Amino acid sequence: MRTLKQMLVPASMAFVLLSACAFAQTPSSKSTPLTGPGSIAGLWLKSGYRNLSLASLRTPERDKVQRTIDGEWPPLQPWASDELELRIKKSQEGDPILTTQAQCLPGIPVMLLGGGAYPIQILETPGQVTMLFEEMNHFRLIHLNSEHPKDLDPTYMGDSVGHWEGNALVVDTVSLNEKTPIDWLGMSHSAQLHLIERYRRTDKDTLELVMTIDDPKTFTKRWDVKQVFRAAPADRGLTEYICENNRDVPDKDN
- Whether residue 160 contacts residue 172, with contact meaning beta carbons closer than 8 Å, is answered with yes
Binding segment (CB under 8 A) for another protein, from list 11-19, 58-66, 69-77, 78-86: 58-66
Rounded-to-integer distance, Cα 27 and Cα 249, Å: 44
* Alpha carbon distances (Å) from 73 to 30, 87, 103, 233: 36, 15, 27, 33
Instruction: Give the interface segment with another protein, choosing from 57-65, 75-83, 142-150, 191-199 (CB under 8 A).
Output: 57-65
Residues 6+ apart with CB under 8 A from 92: 61
Using CA atoms, how far apart are residues 222 and 28, in angstroms rounded to an integer?
41
| Residue 210-239 contact track with another protein, rule CB under 8 A, x = bound | --------------------x--xx----x
**Residue 252 binds to another protein (criterion: CB under 8 A):** yes
Per CB under 8 A, 202 contacts another protein: no
- Which lies closer to another protein via its Cβ, residue 23 or residue 241? 241
Site size with another protein, rule: CB under 8 A: 52
Residues 92-111 contacting another protein, CB under 8 A? 92-99, 101-104
Min dist CB 93 to another protein, Å, is 7
Neighbours of 90 (CB within 10 A): 15
CB atoms closer than 10 angstroms to residue 179: 15
Sites of contact with another protein (CB under 8 A): 47-50, 52-59, 61, 91-99, 101-104, 117-119, 134-135, 137, 184, 230, 233-234, 239-254
